[in-house]
Amino acid sequence: MAWLYRPRRGDAALESTELKKAGLKATLPRLKILDILENSNQRHMSAEDVYKALLDLGEEVGFATVYRVLTQFEAAGLVIRHNFEGGHAVFELERGHHHDHIVCVQCGRVEEFYDQIIEDRQRAVVASKGYEINDHALVIYGNCTKIDCPYRSRG
Amino acid sequence: MAWLYRPRRGDAALESTELKKAGLKATLPRLKILDILENSNQRHMSAEDVYKALLDLGEEVGFATVYRVLTQFEAAGLVIRHNFEGGHAVFELERGHHHDHIVCVQCGRVEEFYDQIIEDRQRAVVASKGYEINDHALVIYGNCTKIDCPYRSRG
DNA sequence: AGGTTAAATGAGAACGATTATCATTAGCAT
DNA sequence: ATGCTAATGATAATCGTTCTCATTTAACCT
């Protein structure tokens, strides 16, 4: 999966504070991973994406650590984990704006959307079934028609 | 995961025809698996669920075959595969009635629903993003409040 | 700054779900 | 019945992810 990571002067102090607030020690792997999540132009990154970004920065961080840190970030509310169709989880920085996702089941492309009518009905349906709504609540699966989707010629 | 399979006089001839129509030889594993999917009181079965049902019927069918057959059934349009949160895929007989799903992210419980307003908005959103809608399009994740959900006491 | 301690890391083993390999078996058209 | 091809079963391999445990490090206290 191609992606681009553009290093930027990291707000090391800010990020350190952000980690402390979350109750996490400001270790090098955690600072780097937070920095990558904040500066990547990919909104949804898999553990492997993050790992590769670390390699590209010349950081020697183990795969296990990447998973651990991402899981901790999730527990701390810094990121949201999505298990979209396709086997591997992707992580997204929690930015406070609720939105839902549409995922291409063929190429994995993800887009975000917000629709107030769906939000309202969604809440009604969930309540009527005896469920409590989840923050990352709704996923629509479809086939994208992007020119570079490898499976475009379907249905 | 508890489940119950109640054997019923299988419509062997019907099922055989059904397979032939799908372009699949009417082999014993395929007939049995189709029978299980049609007669289980679980609408969404994992490969393991199906495998266990076969064992309970006294059939010696390998795990690999279960996966292969389910994948073929999916390709043939006989079943729909869902990759809900939680790691393992579940399969549902294609019954022709479109519906969406709400999944408890804690215990994995699945319910089906249909809401015309959501259907309409969904179509509009998907089209506006340049996607083509998928049959099994929409999943809402939440926390169920069922008494037997092992994680019920969650904010 | 230096020492202490509990927490975090890294390497690799382990894991669970799924897929691939390949020799053997079984549908099904003749 | 026979033969051809596809399907099966046992098992190894793979993939994403988590666990284990010996080593390192951040944070706190002088």
pLDDT digits (tens, 9 = 90+) for A43-75: 999 999 999 999 999 999 999 999 999 999 999
A53 membership: H or E segment, kind and range: helix A47-56
* pLDDT value, residue B133: 86
**A77-94 pLDDT per residue, tens:** 999 999 887 778 999 999
Integer Cα distance of A136 and A138 in angstroms: 6
Contact B28, B19 (CB under 8 A): no
- Residues of chain B with pLDDT below 50 are 1-3, 7-9, 153-155
Confidence (pLDDT) at B59: 94
Helix count and strand count (H, E) for chain A: 5, 6
CATH number of A100-142: 3.30.1490.190
pLDDT average, residue stretch A15-35 = 93
Give the pLDDT confidence score for residue A149 in this predicted structure: 74
Is the CB of residue B77 less than 8 Å away from at least one CB of chain A? no
Say if B144 is an interface residue toward chain A (CB within 8 Å). yes
Q: Which residues contact B116 (CB under 8 A, 6 or more apart)?
A: none
Quote the minimal CA–CA distance from B133 to chain A in Å. 4
Q: Please, which residues have CB within 8 angstroms of residue B125's CB and are 6 or more apart in sequence?
A: A102, A113, A115, A118, A140
Residue A153 has pLDDT above 80, yes or no: no
Is A122 a residue whose pLDDT tops 80? yes
What are the chain B neighbours of A131 within 8 Å (beta carbons)?
102, 104, 111, 140, 142-145
Q: What are the residue boundaries of the structural domains of chain A, listed by start? A: 12-93, 100-142
Beta-carbon contacts of B82 under 8 Å, excluding residues fewer than 6 positions away, are B44, B89, B90, B91, B92, B101, B110, B136, B139
Q: Write out the two tokens for A140.
A: 């629509």
The confidence score (pLDDT) of residue A9 equals: 44
Closest residue (CA) to C1' of nucleotide C11 is A62
Q: Is A137 in the B-facing interface, judged by CB distances under 8 Å?
A: yes
- The pLDDT, as a whole number, for residue B2 is 41
Nearest CA in chain A to B82: A85
Q: Which chain B residue has its CA at the smallest distance from A141's CA?
A: B137
Which positions in chain A touch B143 (Cβ < 8 Å)? 131-132, 134
Q: Does the beta carbon of B115 lie under 8 angstroms from any beta carbon of chain A?
A: yes
**Per-residue pLDDT at B106:** 76
A127-144 pLDDT, tens digit per residue, is 999 998 877 778 998 888
* Highest CATH level, class, for B12-93: mainly alpha
Distance from residue A139's CA to nucleotide D3's C1', rounded to whole Å: 51
Residue A154 banded pLDDT, cuts 50, 70, 90: very low
Q: Tens of pLDDT along A92-109?
A: 999 988 999 998 887 778
